[in-house]
Amino acid sequence: MRPFAYVSAPDVATALHAIATESDAKFLGGGTNLVDLMREGVEAPGTVVDVTRLPLKEIEELPGGGVRIGALVRNSHLAADRLIRTRYPVLAQAVLTGASAQLRNMATVGGNLLQRTRCPYFYDGATACNKRAPGSGCDAIGGFNPNHGILGVSGSCIATHPSDLCVALAALDARPWRAREAERILRGAPATEETFREAAEAELAPATSRPQNAFKIELARRTLVDTLWRLCVEGSAA
Ligand SMILES: Cc1cc2nc3c(=O)[nH]c(=O)nc-3n(C[C@H](O)[C@H](O)[C@H](O)COP(=O)(O)OP(=O)(O)OC[C@H]3O[C@@H](n4cnc5c(N)ncnc54)[C@H](O)[C@@H]3O)c2cc1C
Ligand code: SF4
């Protein structure tokens, strides 16, 4: 066990002061990721700043029609919230697809978004991982990688972002993964299955797969065609 200092911040100012003055300090939310990483020796903060007493546990409706979600809202609380379930069901669905009820009861929204990758090599100090030890290599590239990325990957790391919540929030924000090639083909074209397939092919042309995760390309292609069909059917029924 490596020694570390523990600060239970009573207010935001104390938390910010602690994180700014200690170069190797880390915030602690529910601890479901950070504590695992500390046990494995992947993270070794000198100071752990517990933020769970801070007043950031509210889900507030904003006057402009938006919603503000506190960083310390527990994942299970977010998924059960009436406003979220009725107005942003994709967020509730995203949270409920992840982890287990026990983990969701502990995990916070801030921690979910800032959790480290779930690439198994990142957690295993006996393997090469550029993210954990820059320059050491990437054992996932030639190793076990069915859950790894096919778009936006590099020759140094093929990890995916681990947070389901992050994907859902990005889709609601102005900066989702923009399918520009698909957009180019769909614009002005007839809404047929053939057009949808062509758009999916074009968008996924630069995808880089490994033997174990090549299935994701066909999965993404079919999902895109199916989603576009559903949008057409639901749009014409409305
Ligand atoms: C078995 C298992 C299965 C899982 N499956 C899924 C899944 O399917 N989908 C999914 O999305 N997730 C999954 N997770 C991950 C889980 O959702 C995260 O562990 C959890 O959301 C992290 O939240 P936490 O509050 O416990 O974060 P912590 O462990 O406390 O912190 C995680 C990181 O965020 C930082 N941090 C925490 N709070 C703040 C804050 N307020 N401000 C700034 N930085 C902060 C910490 O410093 C740390 O770096 C799984 C985890 C496990 C163990
Ligand atoms: S994909 Fe490679 S570099 Fe990235 S986290 Fe996994 S092992 Fe590390």
Range of lowest pLDDT (35-49, 76-90, 149-163, 223-237): 223-237
The answer to whether the CB of 137 is under 6 A from ligand 1 is no
The answer to whether the CB of 96 is under 6 A from ligand 1 is no
Q: Which atom of ligand 1 is nearest to the CA of 54?
A: 41
Q: Which atom of ligand 2 is nearest to the CA of 130?
A: 3
Mean pLDDT for 100-115 is 96
Residues in the chain: 238
- The pLDDT tens digits of the residues spanning 165-186 come to 887 877 665 455 678 999 999 9
Quote the pLDDT of residue 136.
Answer: 98
Closest CA to 179 of 148, 204, 152: 204
Question: How many angstroms separate the alpha carbon of residue 109 from the centre of ligand 2?
Answer: 24
Q: Give the CA angle between residues 222, 204, 186 to the nearest 5°.
A: 75
List of long-range contacts for 220-229, beta carbons under 8 Å, 24+ apart: 220/150, 221/197, 224/179, 224/182, 224/196, 224/199, 224/200, 225/193, 225/196, 225/197, 225/200, 228/186, 228/191, 228/196, 228/199, 229/193, 229/196
Question: How many angstroms separate the alpha carbon of residue 105 from the centre of ligand 1?
Answer: 11
Quote the pLDDT of residue 175.
Answer: 54
Whole-prediction pTM: 0.86
The binding-site residues of ligand 2, defined as CB within 6 angstroms of any ligand atom, are: 117, 119, 121-122, 129-131, 138-140, 157-159
Closest CA to 59 of 88, 101, 99: 88
Question: How many angstroms separate the alpha carbon of residue 119 from the centre of ligand 2?
Answer: 6
The answer to whether the CB of 45 is under 6 A from ligand 1 is no
Most informative mutation of 34, 106, 122 for ligand 1 (most atoms within 8 A of CB) = 34
Nearest ligand (C-alpha, residue 154): 2
- The pLDDT tens digits of the residues spanning 43-60 come to 999 999 999 999 999 999
Q: Which atom of ligand 2 is nearest to the CA of 148?
A: 1
Question: How many angstroms separate the alpha carbon of residue 122 from the centre of ligand 2?
Answer: 6
Quote the pLDDT of residue 174.
Answer: 42
